[in-house]
Structure 1
Amino acid sequence: MNVRKISTITELVFTEGGRAVPAPVRTAVVLAVIENPWAGQGFVQDLAPGIDSVASDLGALLAPRVVEALGAPVEAYGKAAIVGLDGEVEHGSALIHTLKFGDHFRKAASATTLLPAVEKRAPAGATFDIPLKHITDATIRSHHQSIEVRLGDAPRPDEIIIGLAAAAQGRPQARLAPLSSEQ
């Protein structure tokens, strides 16, 4: 795995809708810009060797960093892969949609639900929204949220941005009725 850089973004929201929130709403994102392990190989049918050589190490690298950056217990989480223009969306999907990657974050966050994800192919500087859901119950509406991120110089055509996002709570000023109220 060749990492060009790691970026950490933290956010504290103090007001929403013109009203103060009871406590600052904390969100953190850690992004690794890596060389696409399939770059320059043309169409690769069997992605397993690249997954085996990168996914677990990448999950182990990012999971503790995003938890540390959040600085609070994780209540919502998500993941992302943004592939440079010379790669395929499947390259990013291959790295993040495996237990070898995701279980590092599940363990670090004491989570049991599937990690929501976004993946796409885009040029450097593209904006993307990482979806987040509750770590143990994906039906908890207050924790359905997203965080917008971008890196001005990534991904280069032969790179992939892999990211993890964490929130210490639900959306600021969340007030939707529970899903069970509609069933």
Structure 2
Amino acid sequence: MNVRKIITIVEEILTEGGRPVSPAARVAIVAAVIENPWSGQGYVEDLGPGIDQTASAAGALLAPKVLEALGAPAEAYGKAAIVGLNGEIEHGSGLIHTLKFGDHFRKAANATTLLPAVEKRGPAGIVFDIPLKHITDATIRSHHQTVEVRIADAPHPNEIVIALAAAAQGRPQQRLAPLTTEQ
């Protein structure tokens, strides 16, 4: 895996809806900008070898970094793969939609649910939203949220941005009724 750079973003929300948030709502994102393992090869039928050489290494790199940046136990989490213009969305999907990648984060966060994801193709500086859900129960509405990310110089056409996001809590000032009230 050829990593060009790693970006860490930490957001602390202190006020929401005109009311203080205490403790501050904390969300962390860590992204690695990597060379697309299928770059320059044209259409590749079997993505397996590229997944094998890259997915686990990316998960092992990012999972501890995002939890360290969060500075608290994760309650919600998500992932992203943003492919540069010379790649296929399937390249990003292949890297993040495998247990080789996701299990690093699940184990580090003591999580059991599937990681919600975004994958798309775009130019450097593209804005993308990472969806987050609760780490052990995807039906807990308070933890359904998104975090917006933009990396000014990534992805280059032959790169992929692989990112993980974690939140230490649900949405600030959340007050929706539990899903069970509608069933």
TM score, norm. by length of structure 1: 1.00
Query: Do residues 118 (structure 1) and 111 (structure 2) align?
Result: no
Structure 2 portions without partners, runs of 5+? none
Identical counterparts, % of pairs: 77
Q: What SS is found at the alignment partner of 1:108?
A: helix
Q: CA deviation at 1:22?
A: 2.5
Distance in 2, Cα, partners of 1:175 & 1:44:
47
Q: CA deviation at 1:21?
A: 1.3
Q: What SS is found at the alignment partner of 1:33?
A: strand
1:19 aligned residue:
19
Moved over 2 A (4+): none
Q: CA deviation at 1:117?
A: 0.1
**For each residue in 1:87-125, what CA deviation from the matched residue of structure 2 results, as whole angstroms up to 9, or x when unmatched?**
000000000000000000000000000000000000000
2:146 aligned residue:
146
2:31 aligned residue:
31
Distance in 1, Cα, partners of 2:86 & 2:110:
36
Distance in 2, Cα, partners of 1:102 & 1:85:
24
Structure 1 portions without partners, runs of 5+? none
**For each residue in 1:107-162, what CA deviation from the matched residue of structure 2 results, as whole angstroms up to 9, or x when unmatched?**
00000000000000000000000000000000000000000001000000000000
Q: CA deviation at 1:23?
A: 1.1
Aligned residues: 183
